[in-house]
Chains A and B, each alone.
Chain A
Amino acid sequence: MIKKIVFNIAIVFLVVFVLDFAIGRTLQHFYFKEKSGACFQITYSMETTKADILVFGASTARHHYVPEVFEGTLEGTFYNTGQNALGIFFQLAMLESVLKRYTPRVIILDAEDSFEKEKSSYERLSCLLPYYREHKEIRKIVELRSPFERVKMISKIYPFNSHVLTVLGMNLNIIKGDELYNKGYVPLDGQWENKIYPTDTYAAYMVDPNKVIAFKEFIVRAKKSGASIFVVYPPILQELNIRQEIEIRREICLNEKVPFWDFSSNVLFYNNKGLFVDMVHLNHDGAMLFSKLIAAKIKDAINKRMP
């Protein structure tokens, strides 16, 4: 009887193994053939870009840094690797992959994503799973999700879980993404027209030490590479619960002697509804103004360092 049970389970496993291999490999092939969209942008950032100026960050990075402004002011090529809702772990993984290939001249880290301990920060690292096999440098970061990631990767489908429709849509040109043409920058339209509700600016929450370590590691790795690194806290429409976050960043940057520019209370932006689409995201006009300020500051800083 035990033989019968084991035999039947083995048959199912064998069929699953064959199907998993065939479907997984097909998905992998078409995933890396995508020519637009968020997944393509990750692939392009990790494996192709050789831009002189690279922006790292989450959604505020994606929507706040206008390529033409930086290219014009700093005289170099530009690319924005920012991805919505992907925090410091993703940014560190991205940096590791970039530095394996080349060293950008300027690295801007838009450090807006929270240091709060959240399970979702680890879960979202699933977007790096398609790269796990080929990019050894990111494995340590992906394995923060769970100690079993290496085992789960036995499945060829697993890295492409939930990607099937996007892969189909992108390859059949049903879905279109425009990130390539904006060099990673995605402008936002509109203005904040709602009321500004007061928030509890001193609500306590648990800081994730892994995030703080990753932030520090990002700065140390970028500095060691020889790139000029600048850390920016982006503008916000209204005071949020961020003081603790900013102080952690400021202290690390101070210790590492890296410029840290805090725009969270900047008078040009604070309470200026015309420049925001929501509490934290600038519209295109806001992004233009912000980009000009940052680009000029970077230019000044670089010029001052030059003999």
Chain B
Amino acid sequence: MNFTSFNFLIFFPLLVILYYATPAKYRYITLLIASYFFYINIKPVFALITAGVTLSTYLFTSLMGRTNTGPWKKRFMVINIILILLPLFFFKYFNNINAGIFALLELFHLKWPLPKIKLFLPIGISFYTFMAIGYTVDVYNEEIESEKNIGILALFVSFFPSILSGPIERAKNMLPQFKAQINLDYNMVSQGLKFMLWGYFMKLVVADRLGIYVDAIYGNIYQHNGTSLLFASFLYPFQEYADFGGYSLIAIGTARILGINVMQNFNRPFLATSMSEFWRRWHISLISWLTDYVYTPLSFSFRKYKVWGIVIALMITFFISGIWHGAALTFVVWGLMQGLFLSIEALTNKEKSIFEKKHNLSKKSWYISIGVCFTFLLFAASEVFARTTNINDAFTVYRRIFTVSGTLFIGRLSILIYGIFGLSILLLKDLRDEFAPSWFLLFENKHKFVRVIAYSSIIILILLIGVFDGGQFIYYQF
């Protein structure tokens, strides 16, 4: 089951009824059962890994809670982190490590061929592993107390709206909510439904439609000219935003209907004027997790190197981010590119601020536009590595963009028209939300008639031009 499956449209309303019918004290149990039911529906065996991560985390954080000081507390934390990272490493990186070892042995003329093990990556493992690590570190740092109720902790790890692709939530935000007596709240339900509706629009109308074109080009890079590859490379970041941003909104909306507030994951990223701003708007939950648990401790350790310490911390953080996305060289390059862009900004930040102040540029629309376009270009350029399956293909895309001219591949024109139409609506909404949030209100209009027509129009648009047979969410693979 996933958010775009028909099963979910049956499952979720039934759950909402059951959830609010359960006495408030026991609602977390309903939610826990529903979360495991949701996850088991994808592949039953995956739930065992989730349960294992929960058990290990519960056991070791409980031990940490009982050990006030001393080296044992740290040992328990390290043991738990290693234990919960094991399944992630095994499923995500086993084949790559295997191939690496064989390649190394071959250098010494030692051949030891073993068949590849075909492993299915348990969906969401990267997300809930990070959540469990975050919780373990928070308990170690005494930012929160270890959770006594294993049911609440199990729900935190397996909470169905966020288990598949985040947002990567924090225990200190979620655990109190799961324990609180939540009552049905009209505003929460109303907001949740709006988020879900817009999320479905982003996913079905924009992401999956653009995906048809992008897949057609990137699925056959050697047959397409530079113009088509360039166009597809510009479309891919929008596809990814609509896909992952759409997923996140559905997840946030689903949680909100259940009375739970989940953190925002995207904030109009393509209106960022610099890469540092971009990364405060794109996959916010991952970046804030990495900032708290990787970047901040690292930059503290390297503080004696001053600005170069920041550069080293940035490079390592985004290297980890790349590896987290996938066990491939393409993701390493992708991560290092982000680190490089941010490092350059960190190194030139002072001069840039002086220049902007001197010429009073920061509020000039042309300057903002240039910043927005340049940031998009940098991100789109790095996304070539995220979209291609290997490093050779990524360089082939670049080479063909600069060397093979030709007319744009259109394919079925209707696909492009629907996709660009949907994308225009999405970008116009983002522009309005950013620069004129009180203009042209539809979902938030004070007249009920306008709101009803706005919701209905989005549903009709989804029915008319949404892609119902589209692929899974892009971030499921991570």
Contacts and interface: CB of A to CB of B under 8 A. Distances in A.
Please say whether chains A and B are actual partners in one complex: yes
Interface of A: 1-2, 4-5, 8-9, 11-12, 15-16, 19-20, 23, 120, 123, 126, 146, 148, 151-152, 155, 157-158, 160-162, 164-166
Nearest to B460: A19
Given A148-B6, A152-B6, A162-B418, A5 B189 contact: yes
Interface string B180-209: 000010100110010000000000000000
A210 B240 CA distance: 34
27 contacts: A1-B186, A4-B186, A5-B184, A5-B186, A5-B190, A8-B190, A9-B193, A12-B455, A15-B452, A15-B456, A16-B459, A16-B460, A19-B456, A19-B460, A20-B463, A123-B469, A148-B6, A155-B463, A157-B460, A157-B463, A157-B464, A160-B464, A161-B463, A162-B414, A162-B467, A165-B414, A165-B418
Nearest to A1: B186
Q: State the 7 A-B residue pairs at the shortest beta-carbon distance, nearest first.
A: A123-B469, A15-B456, A165-B414, A157-B463, A148-B6, A16-B456, A16-B459
B83 interface: no
Nearest to A148: B6
Given A9-B193, A160-B464, 9 more contacts: A4-B186, A5-B190, A19-B456, A23-B464, A123-B469, A146-B6, A157-B460, A162-B414, A162-B464
Given A146-B6, A164-B465, A11 B452 contact: yes
B447 to A, nearest CB: 13
B269 interface: no
Contacts of A12: 452, 455-456, 459
Residue in B190, B193, B464 whose Cβ sees the most chain A Cβ within 10 Å:
B464
Residue in A12, A20, A23 whose Cβ sees the most chain B Cβ within 10 Å:
A12
Contacts of A152: 6
Residue in B186, B193, B460 whose Cβ sees the most chain A Cβ within 10 Å:
B460
Contacts of A19: 456, 460
Nearest to B467: A162
B466 interface: yes
Contacts of B466: 161
B468 interface: yes
B439 to A, nearest CB: 23
B415 to A, nearest CB: 8
Contacts of A148: 6
Given A12-B455, A15-B452, A20 B465 contact: no
A166 B6 CA distance: 26
B404 interface: no
Contacts of A166: 414
A1 B184 contact: yes
Nearest to B415: A162
B453 interface: yes
Interface in B441-467: 452-453, 455-456, 459-460, 463-467
B417 interface: yes
Contacts of A123: 469
A227 B165 CA distance: 54
A160 B184 CA distance: 38
A20 B418 CA distance: 19
Mostly, the A contact residues are: helix
A9 B460 CA distance: 15
Nearest to A9: B193
Contacts of A158: 463
A4 B456 CA distance: 18
Contacts of B463: 20, 155, 157-158, 161
A172 B458 CA distance: 26
A161 B464 contact: yes
Contacts of B190: 5, 8
Contacts of A4: 186
Given A1-B186, A11-B452, A165-B414, A23 B465 contact: no
A82 B418 CA distance: 27
A19 B464 CA distance: 11
A9 B452 CA distance: 9
Residue in A4, A11, A161 whose Cβ sees the most chain B Cβ within 10 Å:
A161
A158 B465 CA distance: 10
Contacts of A155: 463
Given A16-B459, A20-B460, A161 B186 contact: no
Contacts of B469: 120, 123, 126
Contacts of A23: 460, 464
Contacts of B453: 15
B232 to A, nearest CB: 20
Contacts of B468: 126, 161
A239 B333 CA distance: 38
Contacts of A16: 456, 459-460
A155 B462 CA distance: 12
Contacts of B418: 162, 165
Nearest to B6: A148
A8 B448 CA distance: 9
Given A5-B186, A152-B6, A155-B463, A165 B417 contact: yes
A2 B164 CA distance: 30
Contacts of B455: 12
A101 to B, nearest CB: 30
A164 B464 contact: yes
A179 B453 CA distance: 41
Contacts of A160: 464
Nearest to B185: A1
A142 to B, nearest CB: 13
A178 B15 CA distance: 52
Residue in B190, B414, B452, B469 whose Cβ sees the most chain A Cβ within 10 Å:
B469
